[in-house]
Homo-oligomer: A and B are copies of this chain.
Amino acid sequence: MLLCDVGNTSYHFLDGVEDYKREANSFDPSSVKEKVYYICVNPHAKIILQELENWIDLSWHVDMKNYYETMGIDRIVACGTLENGIIIDAGSAVTVDIVKDGVFEGGFIYAGLRAMQQTYKNISPALDYSFNFELDLDKMPKNSQDAISYGYLKTLYCEVMSHQMDIVLTGGDAKEFAKIFPHAKIDERVIFEGMKKIMKKANVC
């Protein structure tokens, strides 16, 4: 039995204790013959997966009542693992969700690292820098690389810290973002914990 979190960029599998990723663009899910319990936010993959008998969509077992209709199932499942705190999922997008006393309080969507670097580059070739995650967040920048890094990172930092809650970092860029949120707990498998919790509650598997 496998667990799989299907995103816009990759299929993220958990095989017992090992986790691994496959590129969403090139991976053929019908090549997997085992039973796979999955959640999926990728509209293209969704259509393919519902035709495959051994791929079982866990979203049917998720209690959506505290969430909103268009909210990504990955955010919902991750929030279900938290009693109190902020969960930052740093992937193609950076989602920031707040849970208080086990209830989803709302959340926002920030652009992901690569998308944002591309955005600055598109605005002007003079802004084609990689972000400096070692940047001093207490000092207004005086060079171009820090000026865009601060624009992307300090604004997010400022909003997140204003909630004064424990932070869980997950997603492909969790380790990068941990540099600006050094007190956050990194948990790259939080989504699988959420999926297991749902399966247990629904007596699936």
Contacts and interface: CB of A to CB of B under 8 A. Distances in A.
Given A93-B127, A159-B155, A147 B112 contact: no
B43 A126 contact: yes
A141 B70 CA distance: 12
A25 interface: no
Contacts of A98: 140
Given A140-B105, A141-B106, A147-B107, A92 B123 contact: yes
A142 B68 contact: yes
B126 A122 contact: no
A43 B107 CA distance: 39
Total identical chains? 2
A116 interface: yes
Contacts of A41: 124, 126
Interface string A100-135: 000001111111100110111011111100000000
A125 B43 contact: yes
A47 interface: no
Interface in A128-180: 139-144, 146-148, 150-152, 154-156, 158-159, 162
Interface of A: 8, 41, 43, 67-68, 70-72, 92-94, 96, 98, 105-112, 115-116, 118-120, 122-127, 139-144, 146-148, 150-152, 154-156, 158-159, 162
